Amino acid sequence: MNIRYPVIRVRSDDGHLRVLDGLLLCFFIRRKHSEIKDAVWRSLRTYLNAIPAGALEWYVDPDGEMQPLDEKGWAHVHWQILERTRALACHVELCQFEVAASGYNFEYAGYQLDPLRFHDEKAASAIAFSLPTEYLLEHGPEKVRALALELSRELPFSSGYASLAFVSFSGSWYARREKMLPLIERYWGLDLYLIGRTSRCIGTGARGAYWLTFLGQPLLGQLGGIEALRRELPFPEVSFQPLEGERLLLTLEEWPSPMDTREGLDVPQYRALARLLEPYLPEETIGLTSIFDRKNMGRWLRRFCL
């Protein structure tokens, strides 16, 4: 491996760590929370089995306060995902540290997707897991890829991805605009995300071309299916793995790349996939606009299409 990974540490004025380098594994599911809650819970258990014991220490309670993930805390999370049946939405956030960014985070935004509710019209339930970069370096890309596959196995996703990312619990990067902009502009391979907001507008679309790009239905069919993608992506670095349920995992290269623009970009497979996906990218006009204005947000999301 000849890739050099950046060490990113962005702190708030009080010295607390808010952003660090890591990986994000994320899936978007155009299904009601009540239909996928069991699969979501099993994916969370799979994640817990793959990371160090006790890595997740805190959860966000209904009042937005941090609470310890002790026996009582886990009982609450179990109730929130599996037993709270009458809620119109389910939002769960779990993290490693209370006042600092960490490599291990879990977030789930589930909706009932009522066609009569304006905010549900373009929404999709979303689930996301993060890992520190050290996990990748210690275990290698095949272990991360295997974990992503296991997490996705029971999720009826429309799309998903795994990527290097600016890892930040609850999007707390938003207050560090002056420090984040140079990093975002330099490292094109690090995702900037706010799952709860993206899930409100992505529908059955995709967010872009990533190291691991998961394609489900109806998106895969809209792209012409696996054979059409093989013709459009004739790159030796790209591998195609068909999955159950007419789904597909595209691996665009062996190791995820930070894509440091100072070293030049030679990523034709990312550009080719991004251009195929461009008609299905969401218009993210909220959430990330504390970093970009609306016009530049769209340009950043479509950076590989240009």
Parallel, antiparallel, or unpaired for β 239-243 and 247-251? antiparallel
DSSP assignment of 23-60, as one string? EEEEEEE-S-HHHHHHHHHHHHHHHHHHS-TT---EEE
The span from the CA of 268 to the CA of 86, in Å, is 47
pLDDT for the residue numbered 89? 82
Q: Which residues pair with 108 in a beta bridge?
A: 92, 127
Q: What is the pLDDT of residue 252?
A: 98
Quick one: pLDDT at residue 117?
59
Query: What pLDDT score was predicted for residue 119?
Result: 61
Concatenated DSSP letters for the chain?
Answer: --PPPP--EEE-TTS-EEEEEEEEEEEEE-S-HHHHHHHHHHHHHHHHHHS-TT---EEE-TTS-EEE-SHHHHHHHHIIIII-TT-SEEEEEEES-SSS--S-EEEEEEE---TTSGGGTT--EEEEEEEEHHHHHHH-HHHHHHHHHHHHTT---SEEEEEEEEE-GGGGGGG-HHHHHHHHHHBTTSB---HHHHTTT-TT------SEEEE-TTHHHHTTHHHHHHHH---TT-EEEEETTTEEEEE-SSS----BGGG----HHHHHHHHHHGGG-----SSSTTTS-HHHHHHHHTTTT-
Residue 211: closest CA among 19, 23, 4: 23
pLDDT tens across 38-86, in order? 999 999 999 999 999 999 999 998 888 889 999 999 999 999 999 986 7
The predicted structure's pLDDT at residue 265: 85
The per-residue pLDDT for 26 is 97
| 10-residue averages of pLDDT along the chain (306 residues) | 87 84 96 93 97 93 89 95 81 86 91 68 92 96 98 96 91 69 92 88 94 97 97 97 96 96 92 96 64 65 86
* Predicted local confidence at residue 55, as pLDDT: 93
Contact in structure between 187 and 6 (CB atoms under 8 Å): yes
Q: What pLDDT score does 306 carry?
A: 77
- pLDDT at residue 2 in the model: 73
- Shortest CA distance to 223 belongs to which of 183, 275, 174? 275
pTM: 0.93
What confidence score (pLDDT) does residue 254 get?
A: 96
pLDDT at position 212, please? 98
Residue 300: what pLDDT?
Answer: 80
CA distance 282 to 298: 9
Q: Which two tokens stand for residue 216?
A: 């489900």
